[in-house]
Amino acid sequence: MTIRVGIYGYGNLGRGVECAVRRAPDMTLAGVFTRRDPAQVSILSPDVPVYEAGRAPAMEGDIDVMILCGGSATDLPVQTPQMAAHFHVVDSFDTHARIPEHFAAVDKAAKAAGRLAVISAGWDPGLFSLNRAYGQAILPDGADYTFWGPGVSQGHSDAIRRIPGVADARQYTVPVEAAVAAVKAGENPQLTTRDKHTRVCYVAAEEGADLAAIETAIKTMPNYFDQYDTTVHFVSLEELHRDHSALPHGGQVIRSGVTGWNGEEHHVISYSLSLSSNPQFTASVLVACARAAWRMARDGQTGCRTMLDIPPALLCPQDPDTLRRTLL
DSSP string, 77-127: HHHHHHHHTTSEEE-----GGGHHHHHHHHHHHHHHHT-EEE-S-SBTTBH
- Contact with a second copy (CB under 8 A) among 24, 68, 159, 232: 24
CB of 155 to a second copy, least distance (A): 18
Would you tell me how many other CB atoms lie within 10 Å of the CB of residue 243? 11
Residue 273 Cβ vs a second copy, minimum distance, rounded to whole Å: 6
Pick from 36, 44, 233, 239 the residue near a second copy by CB under 8 A.
44
Choices 135-143, 148-156, 158-166, 193-201; region in contact with a second copy by CB under 8 A: 135-143
Phi/psi for 171 (5° steps) reads: -115, 130
57, 314, 15, 119 alpha-carbon torsion, rounded to 10°: 60
Helix 76-84 / helix 99-113 crossing angle, nearest 10 deg? 20
Query: Least Å distance between CB 164 and a second copy?
Result: 35
Return the residue of 9, 77, 125, 175 that touches a second copy, per CB under 8 A: 125
Distance of CA 64 to the CA centre of its chain: 22
CB 99 within 8 A of CB 77: no
Q: Which of 30, 66, 180, 285 touches a second copy by CB under 8 A? A: 285
Q: Which of 72, 92, 284, 302 binds a second copy (CB under 8 A)?
A: 284
Smallest distance, Å, CB 37 to a second copy? Answer: 23
CA pair distance 169, 252, nearest whole angstrom = 25
Segment near a second copy (CB under 8 A); pick from 99-107, 167-175, 203-211, 237-245: 99-107
Sign of the torsion formed by the C-alpha atoms of 134, 138, 144 and 145: negative
Is residue 276 within 8 A of residue 97, CB to CB? The reply is no
Least distance (Å) between residue 243 CB and a second copy: 17
Considering only 206, 226, 239, 309, the residue that binds a second copy (CB under 8 A) is 309
178 binds a second copy (CB under 8 A): no
* Out of 61, 208, 260, 300, the residue judged to bind a second copy by CB under 8 A: 260
Angle in degrees, CA 211, 215, 217, rounded to 5:
115
User: Can you state the percent helix, strand and coil of the chain, rounding each to 5?
Assistant: 40, 25, 35
Amino acid making up residue 146: T
Give, in order, the Cα–Cα distances in Å from 287 to each of 3, 103, 186, 282, 305: 11, 19, 35, 9, 15
Out of 62, 158, 239, 265, point to the residue binding a second copy (CB under 8 A). 265
**Least Å distance between CB 48 and a second copy?**
13
Binding mask 137-166 for a second copy (x = CB under 8 A): xxxxx-------------------------
Return the number of other C-beta atoms located less than 10 Å from residue 9's C-beta: 22
Closest distance to a second copy from the beta carbon of 190 (Å): 19
Site string for a second copy, 193-232 (x = CB under 8 A): ----------------------------------------
Q: Does 316 bind a second copy (CB under 8 A)?
A: yes
Residues found near a second copy in the complex (CB under 8 A): 16, 18-20, 22-25, 44, 96, 99-100, 103, 120, 125, 127, 129-130, 132-134, 136-141, 184, 186, 259-261, 265-277, 280-281, 283-285, 288, 291, 306-313, 315-317, 320-321, 323-325, 327-328
